[in-house]
Amino acid sequence: MTIGQTRTTTKKEQSAEIEQAVERFLNSGGKIQEFETQRSEFRPTWEAYANSAFEDRGHEA
């Protein structure tokens, strides 16, 4: 069942313009620079907060 259109015509037009601009960029010798990424551990704020509650604190009795 299709409820309705998910993207407006304006967004489709913008997407098409972006795709054309990228194509022109690459065709004129442009290059996309890629950087190596480093994998790191993601710790949500709530997890870091919860873990800090169990750390030894020298200033507390």
Among 43, 40, 39, CA closest to 52: 43
Residues composing the chain: 61
Question: What domain range includes position 34?
Answer: 3-56
Residue 61 lies in a domain: no
Q: Is the pLDDT of residue 1 over 60?
A: no
* The total number of structural domains that make up the chain: 1
Residue 60 zone, left/alpha/beta (φ > 0; ψ -120 to 50; rest): beta
pLDDT in tens, 6-56: 666 788 899 999 999 999 999 999 887 888 877 777 666 777 777 777 776
Residue 8 lies in a domain: yes
Residue 43 lies in a domain: yes
Report d(CA 26, CA 32) in Å as an integer. Answer: 8
> Which residues touch 26 (CB under 8 Å, ≥6 apart)?
32
